[in-house]
Chains A and B, each alone.
Chain A
Amino acid sequence: MAQEAHASSEGAALPERRVAYSVLVRFGPVIGLAFLCLVLSVTSEAFLNPANLINVARQVSINAIIAAGMTFVMISGGFDLSVGSVMALSGVVGIMAMNAFGDAAGILIMLAVALSCGLWNGLLVAFARINAFVATLAGMTIYHGIALVVTDSFPVTRFGGWYRNFGQGHLFGLPIPIYVLIIVYVVAHIVLTRTAFGTSVYAVGGNEEAARLSGINIERIRTSVFTICGFGVGIASLLIIGRLQSAQANMGIQAELDAIAAVVIGGTSLAGGEGRVFGTLAGAFTIGVLNNGLNLHDISAHWQLVAKGAVIALAVIIDRQLVHRQ
């Protein structure tokens, strides 16, 4: 084609090595996960057992769904510390509302609560121009506090009801959470890569000024990503309470750390403008598989924390190196 000939004459083509690096950057998280799985499949007989793998996927699904929303926020250049508290608040409200109004209404209410928490975070960041770290730190405390207030710090329970299927149900032999996980990721991927909104999220995170001068409504995008993140947390919360048949104000503590870890391991830049949800999925699975592997090898939960931290640091170091050479 004409423009391609033109391009090579000006040396605009990428050198091959650069291409190789950009492929490594893109698939790095998946390669890392594959490597981890390979090691575990050699060192532990139980790892490749289908029951074990399904169990890992089910456990990972909660964090992965939260991390999907977090990916939106972080690509836009933001940050959300409040996800754990939103999970607790929407969970306890969900159980209480279902007890009062039945499953369907209760689920709608809990999702609305989670979405509103995200919306509030977004409004603070976008319109009041409060730093995302501070705004969501405030949110984290407020939502946790409200959850304590409405439950008087006692656990709330609901035994029975079809909502439990979200946590415990199976379909064609696979747990429902895995289906939810797949749906969430497919939708998130399509929204980020195939819609004008998705492109705007990248543009706002990559260069806010350029996005603004192109007529993109920065405030709307920022508010939306936090709202999406909140909604995702609501879904994750439904999976948890469905499994536990109860909720309490202190659940979800440190959920933000695992979610952010998954996003970061997945190669999303903290500076915004870059990232893919499937990277995040690989990140979430890396954490889950690592925990599972250490369990299978009878290594204590305390060491699991150390290992998780080391993996986060390692992933970011490798990613920075590759991006730098690219």
Chain B
Amino acid sequence: MPALLTMEGISKAFPGVQALSKVDFEVMPGEAHALIGENGAGKSTLIKILAGVHRRDAGTIRFEGSDYRVANPHEALAMGVAVIYQELNLVQKLTVAQNIFLGHEPLRRAGFVATREMNARAGEILKELGISMDPRTPVEALGVAQKQMVEIAKALSRASRILVMDEPTAPLTQSEIEVLFRVIAGLKEQGLGVIYISHRLDEVFQIADRVTVLRDGERVHSSEVSETQIDRLVLAMVGRRLAEEEPPLEVPEDAPMVLEAEGLADGRVVRDISLGVRAGEVVGLAGLIGSGRSEFAHLLFGSETAAEGEVRLVGETLSGGVPQRIAAGLGMVPEDRKLQGLVMQLLVKENSTLATLDKYTSGGFIRRPAHESRVREIITELRIATRGPRQSVKALSGGNQQKVILSRWMDTGARALIFDEPTRGVDVGAKAEIYALIRELQRRGVAILMISSDLPEVLRISNRVIVIRNGRVAGELSREEATQEQVLRLMMGAAVSGNGA
């Protein structure tokens, strides 16, 4: 049987990052092919290329036996590729039938919409899906699961041949998930190809025939679902490069406790996390996406308000928001460089001192020479590849942009730093330099909490690993105990036993 969709050697680069390199992906008619990987692995980029949102730099796509070239999502839809994003694309005020036929309404001769015919045809499509829903219901009156069904019906009304679903089960309850899976099984019987993106690996085994894992823009695993296991997939997702480099610095026995969290909870994702990081210690915080690791970081830093629990720095309870905590000696390198880290319109010098500008001002005025010469020192110290303090950060590579953000905390006299994914989307060389920097901070006695979804990285630079699952501490491993298997076991816990979150 010829493949419905064949993507070969797909590459795509964005400024500063290679989002995809030579990725192959294939979907057979009647097949559900799961696409998995950590955030930033390249899943969305691949889908957006298929959907005509991005243009590929290299590679070929064949769809139903012929060359597939689309310039925009509209053309992709016309070709028969429908994508259901997490953010559903429905017009709330219109009815189910109006949404299903939006843009291709059945018309009467004078150009008016044939409402009755439209409702009837929408009803048929819904019936085929095995869904009982009145096509005249306004979409805003529906629940999330039903809205998803409307999206699927919309795709079917367009005679789509491939349906891409991005994390469809994330907002659904268990019984709704079962209905969705029944519908997907029905679509497969009709010969549609389904591309299924999910972080829930147990679902992959329930619904998919094949699974492909992306990591750092490369295809690292692809197999029949029946021929693989959940831990092999997790290992592929988080990487198998083993740490060979020098071990982290030893933490003296009597090193004082610097950063402590006690019973921290946000009332949503973070349920109850207590931990402590000592001076000169690197604690790795591991956990799957959705485990609450980044949310926990924001609670520590005061950028989100904790519902319960407290944070202490060198024994003092921290109160107030970010400015107070920075003043107390805390710093954070946030997860998303572009959204939370850099001000793209500003220069290197301003970005690298955004948290410490006051140090270079007298009477409110920035002392330019002192400021720029300090930034020049930082550039040399961190080996940031830039033409100088006055270059725009936009022009830097991902790794160098990340170093600019790190450099923000060099001068605050921080006692404790939180690194959330410090090496995501960063090339190997910059990674090594960031590790060296972490060692240097360690040597200076800074307490470091490092969140990373790159497991080898966590194992390589942490003195201790704490694993978070479902917003709680699932376990703590000393450097000796912390092996890939142990960490994985703690990370997945629930996923393996199959009782979900």
Contacts and interface: CB of A to CB of B under 8 A. Distances in A.
Contacts of B95: none
The 3 A-B residue pairs with the shortest CB-CB distance, nearest first, are: A206-B343, A215-B326, A214-B354
Given A12-B387, A203-B350, A207-B343, A214 B408 contact: yes
Interface string A177-213: 0000000000000100011110110110111011111
Given A195-B361, A214-B408, A217-B323, A3 B380 contact: yes
A217 B364 CA distance: 15
A202 B397 CA distance: 22
Interface in B335-386: 339-346, 350, 354-355, 357-358, 360-361, 364-366, 368, 376, 379-380, 383-386
B126 to A, nearest CB: 39
Contact of A199 (B357, B383, B397): B357
Interface string A1-32: 11110110110111000000000000000000
B11 interface: no
Contacts of B361: 195-196
B332 interface: yes
B396 interface: yes
Interface string B297-325: 00001010000000000000000001101
Contacts of A10: 385, 397, 400
A6 B383 contact: yes
Interface in A26-69: none
B106 interface: no
Contacts of B343: 202-203, 206-207, 210-211, 273
Given A194-B365, A203-B346, 12 more contacts: A1-B388, A3-B380, A12-B386, A12-B396, A196-B360, A199-B354, A203-B350, A206-B343, A210-B334, A210-B343, A214-B355, A215-B325
B344 A206 contact: yes
Given A3-B385, A3-B388, A199 B323 contact: no
Given A12-B396, A213-B301, A273-B345, A197 B364 contact: yes
B133 interface: no
B395 to A, nearest CB: 6
A3 B396 CA distance: 13
Contact of B354 (A7, A211, A273, A274): A211
Contacts of A13: 387, 395
Contact of B385 (A1, A6, A207): A6
B344 A196 contact: no
A7 B387 contact: yes
A216 interface: yes
Nearest to A6: B385
23 contacts: A3-B387, A4-B387, A6-B383, A7-B386, A7-B387, A10-B397, A13-B387, A14-B387, A195-B361, A196-B366, A199-B346, A199-B354, A199-B366, A202-B350, A207-B339, A207-B342, A210-B334, A210-B342, A213-B332, A213-B334, A214-B354, A215-B322, A273-B343
Interface in A245-287: 273-274
Nearest to B409: A214
B39 to A, nearest CB: 17
Nearest to A271: B345
A258 to B, nearest CB: 26
Interface of B: 301, 303, 322-323, 325-327, 332, 334, 339-346, 350, 354-355, 357-358, 360-361, 364-366, 368, 376, 379-380, 383-388, 391, 395-397, 400, 408
A11 to B, nearest CB: 8
Contacts of A209: 334, 339-340
A195 B387 contact: no
A211 B342 CA distance: 8
A209 B355 CA distance: 13
A185 B51 CA distance: 49
Nearest to A190: B365
B340 A213 contact: yes
B400 A12 contact: yes
A291 B408 CA distance: 48
Contacts of B355: 214-215
Contacts of A210: 334, 339-343, 354
A196 B358 contact: yes
Contact of A212 (B303, B327, B346, B397): B303
A196 B364 contact: yes
A5 B297 CA distance: 37
A7 B364 contact: no
A3 B346 contact: no
Residue of A14, A203, A213, A217 with highest tally of chain B CB at under 10 A: A213
Nearest to A200: B357
Given A194-B368, A209-B339, A202 B334 contact: no
Nearest to A204: B343
A212 B322 contact: yes
Contacts of B332: 213
A256 B391 CA distance: 35
Residue of B301, B365, B385, B408 with highest tally of chain A CB at under 10 A: B385
A213 B298 CA distance: 9
